[in-house]
Chains A and B, each alone.
Chain A
Amino acid sequence: MQPELPKEITKLIGKISFKDSSPILVQKGLWQNFCSAIEDANPIYWDESKSKNYRDGPISHPALLPSWVHDFEWHPDRKKIQPMQLHFHIKDLLELPLGIVTEVEIEFYEPVIDGDEISSEQKLISISDIVKTKLGKGRYWLIEVKYHNQKNQLTGKQNIHFLGYKK
């Protein structure tokens, strides 16, 4: 028989429980570091004049959308805000110290450009019964994240499936 989920978890389902605001302005040099790491030469990320053939200027690499709400690893004035706080909150409540992403679905709407400020809101959609996996015993859960820019335009939506587990 499966143990019941803690009430602190069930009351999170279907509600926006964490919001992240942009810790950093979107910057061309930052997205170009990422493009360099994956060796993506698409001029729409790199070249001011060539990108105008396709759009009115360069855009950030779409894969980085969630990264723009990730805090600094270290900051001189404050403690780090954990990215995907809802995921870590669930891990803490369930006493599952380890977690990995198992599945991702992401949609891209308004393109992200230099100078944008991205914010996000996180919602727990579902959580599984206890499962036994190769990594350990744990649970799967699904979190929906919506991303907006400073004009409140929806830049994208992500559904992330996690496995939280312990050895």
Chain B
Amino acid sequence: MKSNKLLPIFKHLTSVKSIQSGAIFSRDWAPLHSNQDWAINKGNLPNIIMNNYTLNGLLIKYVTDIYGPSTRIGKVSFSIKKPICPDNLIEFHGNLENEKPINDDLSLLTINIDIKVFDQTFSSAKVVAGVNSTENEKNSPWNIGTDIWKSYLE
């Protein structure tokens, strides 16, 4: 079912520390995410840049914060148009593109998200997630077997 519903905007201010810790705690030791001198003078970059695991983590957080902890993320895709650097106020602008009922308990959502800094789109993403359509927590999408879950994503 086509939806086209705008979702709340989430804002996140980056810092040197947040970009470094996102990279280090995702076991990504590449210097372009943690060494400012290397990033600028050797990487030809404006500063250290957010690694893709951190960006992916923030996209997933955006969706689960809106739809609740039982939300099961199936797919995330994103392109990086401009690097996200320290002291960027990044804004997540979501749009629920489609809501597909799978059965009485589960709907599969397709959400488009633009990540903007200074009104410019730095990254565009799409997330597919399963949500519980009932009040009963036992119907959590996390209780779906992997083979069945995988078939929903195809």
**Chain A interfacial positions (CB closer than 8 Å to B):** 30, 33-40, 42-44, 50-51, 53-55, 59, 61-64, 66-68, 70, 73, 83, 98, 100-111, 135-136, 153-154, 160-161, 167
Q: Which of B76, B83, B137, B150 is within 8 Å of A106, CB to CB?
A: B76
Are A109's CB and B140's CB within 8 A?
no
By beta carbon, the residue of chain B nearest A153 is B146
B75 touches A106 (CB 8 A): yes
List 8 A-B pairs, minimum CB-CB distance, nearest first.
Answer: A70-B27, A63-B57, A105-B77, A55-B142, A63-B56, A54-B140, A37-B21, A34-B25
Known: A55-B142, A154-B146. A40 touches B57 (CB 8 A): yes
Complex-state Cα separation, A123 to B60, whole angstroms? 26
CB of B77 within 8 A of CB of A167, answer no
Separation of A104 and B140 alpha carbons in the complex (Å): 27
* Nearest chain A residue, comparing its CB with the CB of B141: A54
Indicate whether A98 sits within 8 Å of B44 (C-beta atoms), given known contacts A33-B25, A37-B54, A63-B56. Answer: yes
The distance in angstroms between the C-alpha atoms of A53 and B141, with both chains bound, is 11
What are the residues of chain B within 8 A of A42 when measuring CB–CB? 61, 64-65, 69
Contacts of B142 in A (CB 8 A): 44, 54-55, 59, 111
User: Chain B residues with Cβ under 8 A from A102's Cβ?
Assistant: 79-80
* Given contact pairs A37-B22, A100-B32, a sample of 13 additional A-B residue pairs in the complex whose CB atoms are under 8 Å apart: A34-B26, A38-B22, A38-B54, A44-B70, A50-B69, A51-B69, A53-B70, A62-B60, A62-B73, A64-B53, A66-B53, A106-B76, A154-B146
Across the interface, B29 reaches (CB within 8 A) one of A53, A73, A111, namely A73
Given the complex, which residues of A lie within 8 Å of B32, measured CB to CB?
A: 100
Query: Which of A59, A103, A108, A167 touches B78 (beta carbons < 8 Å)?
Result: A103
Judge whether B74 and A107 touch: CB under 8 Å: yes
Name the residue on A nearest B153 (C-beta): A107
Per the bound structure, the CA–CA distance linking A147 and B120 in Å amounts to 34
Can you spell out 18 A-B residue pairs with CB atoms less than 8 angstroms apart?
A34-B25, A35-B57, A37-B25, A42-B69, A53-B140, A54-B70, A54-B137, A61-B60, A63-B60, A64-B57, A66-B53, A70-B28, A100-B80, A100-B83, A106-B76, A106-B77, A109-B150, A160-B52
Do A67 and B153 touch across chains, with their CB atoms under 8 A apart? no
Q: Which residue of B lies closest to A30 (CB)?
A: B25
Report the nearest B residue to A165, measured CB to CB. Answer: B44
Query: Chain B nearest CB: distance from A85 CB in Å?
Result: 13
A contact residues around B29 at 8 Å (CB): 70, 73
CA A107 to CA B57, docked complex, whole Å: 13
Contact of A103 among B61, B77, B149 (CB under 8 A): B77
